[in-house]
A = this chain, B = another copy of it.
C-alpha cells in the first residue's frame, strides 16, 4: 500500500512564514466575502471591521490587526467609512478590497473576435476592448500581434486608473498544454506556442471553457460549487467545476464535450470521429437543421447578438417550425450527453453559455427531459439548468479573474518588506 498518495494535502510542512501567508489569505477572504451570499456569517455588517474578522476566523484581534496592516500596505485592502451602528458606542472602521491595487488582464482568441478585459481585485471590470474579425484567414503570428496591441492598450488604461497588472491569462478555444496550443480545430491552429510574457507581463494560457467556467464560478450566484458550464459556438466546450475548483484533468485536456458521442455511428466530425455532439448541437449544425441559408453570414459578428445568430432567435420567437425542430435536436443531443456526464460525476447545475445563453428558453425543456429520463439519481438529486450570467464575456472575464485569484491565494507576494 502506498499511503503517501492519499496524503497529498500534507505534502509540505507548515512553518511560521507559510502560517502567515495562510492567515493573510484567510483575512483577505473575509474582507472579500463579508456580506455576500457565500460568505460566513460575520458579527457585523458589510464592510467588516477588524473585530468582525477576528470573531469570524478565531484569530486574535492583534493578529488580525497586524495582518490587515500588511494587506493595506500591499494595496489589497483599504479602510472605508464604518457601517451605521444600531447600538451604542463608536462604530469601527470598515475594510474593503482595494480597487487601486493589482488587477488581472484577460485576453481571448475566438473564431470571430479578439477581446481584452481588465478586472480589479474586487472583481469589477475596469477596461474592455473587443475587435470583431474572422480570425481564421489570419496567421497565428498576426493574431498574436493583435493581442500585443490589445495588451498595450489595456496596460495604458490600467495605468491611467492606478491599477497594476498582476498577470495575463489568455483564453483559446482548444487543447492547451503548458504554454502551447496543441489543437484549436476551428481556428486551424496546431502546436502554436504562446509567448511567456507580453510587454513584460507574464502570460498563462488555458482553454476558454475552463476560464469561462471560472468566470461563472466567481460571478454567477446560481452556479454553486459543482457545475458543468457548456458553451456553444461553432465548437462546443465545457468547463467542469467540482467542489469549487476547475477540473483541468490529468494532462489539462478536460472539457472536450463537443466530441462526446451522441450516436456512435452518426455523422462524421471534423475531429475524425463519428456522431460527436458538435454535429448535433454546434452552431453550424443548428443553422443547417434550421434551414437558414448562409452559414458564413450567420457566424459573422454583424448578425450575432449575445452570441446567438439573430435569425435563429427571431425564428424561435416566431414559432418557426424548422428552427424549433433544430433547437429540439440540439437540446436533446445536449441532454443525452449531459445526462451521461452527470451520471458519471454528479453535479447539481448545468450552465448554458456562448450561443446557448440566449437559446436557453428553447433548449431547456429538451435538456431537462433527457436529464430526467437518463440520470439515475434524478429523483434524489435534481439538476438545475441556468443561463450564463457573463454570456459571451465569460471567457475573457474568467481569464482576468484567474489572475486575480492567484493574488487572493497568495497575497503575501504583494506585501512590501519592512
Closest 10 A/B residue pairs (Cβ): A1-B123, A249-B346, A4-B33, A226-B250, A253-B377, A260-B340, A3-B32, A256-B343, A253-B346, A10-B25
By the criterion CB–CB under 8 Å, are B14 and A32 in contact?
A: no
Q: Which residues of B contact A9 (CB under 8 A)?
A: 409
Q: Is the CB of A37 within 8 A of B344?
A: no
Which residues of chain B have C-beta atoms less than 8 A from A346's C-beta? 248-254, 256
Count of A residues near B, CB < 8 Å? 96
* Contact among B124, B175, B257 for A344, CB-based, below 8 A: B257
Asked if A92 lies at the interface with its beta carbon under 8 angstroms from chain B, I say no
Q: A1-B219, A264-B336 are in contact. Are A240 and B344 (CB under 8 A)?
A: yes
- B348 near A408 with CB under 8 A, answer no
A263 an interface residue at 8 Å Cβ cutoff? Answer: yes
Q: Which residues of A are at the interface with B, using a C-beta cutoff of 8 A?
A: 1-15, 19, 22-23, 25-26, 28-29, 32-33, 36-39, 57-59, 119, 122-124, 175, 177, 182-183, 214, 217-219, 221, 224-226, 238, 240, 242-245, 247-257, 259-264, 271-273, 336-337, 339-341, 343-348, 373-377, 380-381, 401, 404-405, 408-409
Shortest Cβ gap from A19 to chain B (Å): 5
**A401 to B219 Cα, complex, angstroms:** 39
Minimum CB–CB distance for A409 against chain B, Å: 7
Identical copies in the complex: 2
Give the shortest distance, in Å, between A234 (CB) and chain B (any CB).
15
Measured between beta carbons, the chain B residues less than 8 angstroms from A243 are 8
A165 to chain B, nearest CB (A): 18
A65 → B minimal CB distance (Å): 15
Can you show 13 pairs from A to B with CB atoms below 8 A apart? A1-B401, A3-B405, A4-B29, A7-B409, A14-B22, A225-B250, A242-B247, A242-B249, A250-B347, A250-B348, A251-B377, A256-B344, A264-B336
A254 partner residues in chain B, CB cutoff 8 A:
344-346
Whole-angstrom distance between the Cβ of A272 and the nearest chain B Cβ: 7
Verify B2–A26 contact, CB threshold 8 A: no
**Alpha-carbon separation in the docked complex, A414 to B376 (Å):** 40
Q: Do residues B344 and A3 form an inter-chain contact, with CB atoms below 8 A? A: no
Closest CB-CB distance, A225 to chain B, in whole Å?
A: 6
Closest to A64 in B: B13
Closest to A119 in B: B1
Contact across chains for A244 and B5 when beta carbons are under 8 A apart:
yes
CA distance A273 to B339 in the complex (A): 11
Alpha-carbon distance between A39 and B7 when the two chains are bound, in angstroms:
11
**Which of the residues B250, B263, B343 comes within 8 Å of A259, measured between beta carbons?**
B343
Question: CB-CB < 8 A to A256: which residues of B?
Answer: 343-344, 346, 376-377
Q: Other CB < 8 Å A-B pairs besides A2-B33, A12-B57, 10 of them?
A: A1-B119, A4-B38, A5-B217, A5-B218, A5-B225, A12-B26, A183-B377, A242-B249, A254-B345, A273-B374
Q: Which of A4, A26, A123, A257 has the most CB of B within 10 A?
A: A4
**Chain B residues within 8 Å of A261, by CB:** 336, 339-340, 374
